[in-house]
Amino acid sequence: MAIHSTAIVDPKAEIAADAEIGPYCVVGSDVKIGARTQLMAHVFLEGKLSIGEDNVFFPYCSCGVAPQDLKYKGEASETRIGNGNKIREFVTIHRGTEGGGLVTAIGDENLLMAYVHVAHDVMIGSHTILANGVTFAGHVTVDDYANVGGLSAVHQFVRIGAHSMVGSRSVIKQNVLPFSITATQHESAIYGANRVGLQRHGFAQEEIEPLQNAFRILGHANLNTTQAMARIEEEIPQTAAVKELMAFIRGSERGFIK
């Protein structure tokens, strides 16, 4: 393995033979680092932390540190990071708490741009893009292929649905529907289906159009949620994506941005 002479690596840390640890990095005793993962410089890793293969940690990010939660009393929580992630400059990722299952987890092939904050017990899926300055409070869930715009702030226990796009500078206090474009810069609104994102990920037009019509009913038909869902079930083809959307709504205890 390539470990720079200025790096401080606890001898108990488990590091793959072909991982790279750059100048002035600090790696704690309970850290595991997988094959071909690279710490560029000034990266701080501690706590019970497992990191998969082919990740890149850019300078001045920190991962696995204790959560900013006054209820945290030092319990043995952890952080899990999958494969192929890019963790950019000054990103902070905190480990879990007893109140959230003791785990903060990030999947595969995610891009966390500079200054993203991932709080305790956050669960991030795979193939997400989190733009500069995105801030998650504790217990947030981000589903696969979500895209969150820069400087957005996400409230505790919110879920951001799969293939959704959140506009920059949004304040997200309720769940974000899957497949949607949602923003709250001025007032909360669904702007319809995330057409471009869905097309990029292989959705056909006959899958996108029913979603678009469903969002029109949800957001612009002057119906309450129960009425809108009944109309969607009656009028809109029940594709797999539409069924996923409806299941998401039914499971949204916090409500959703409409």
Residues recognised as catalytic: 120-121, 138
Of 170, 169, 168, 167, the C-alpha closest to 181 is 167
Give me the residue label for tokens 């560029």: 40
Instruction: Using alpha carbons, list the distances in angstroms from residue 183 to 124, 192, 252.
Output: 20, 11, 18
Query: Which of 39-45's residues contact partners 24+ apart within 8 Å by CB, and which partners?
Result: 39/7
Q: Which two tokens stand for residue 192?
A: 């319809």
Helix (H) or strand (E) holding 31: strand 31-33
To the nearest 10 degrees (0 to 180), the angle between helices 205-220 and 240-250 is: 30
CA Rg value for the chain: 20
Asked if 72 contacts 120 with a C-beta cutoff of 8 angstroms, the reply is yes
> DSSP readout, 51-80?
E-SS-EE-TT-EEEEPPS-TT------EEE
Q: Which two tokens stand for residue 11?
A: 């001898």
Q: Which amino acid is at 120?
A: H
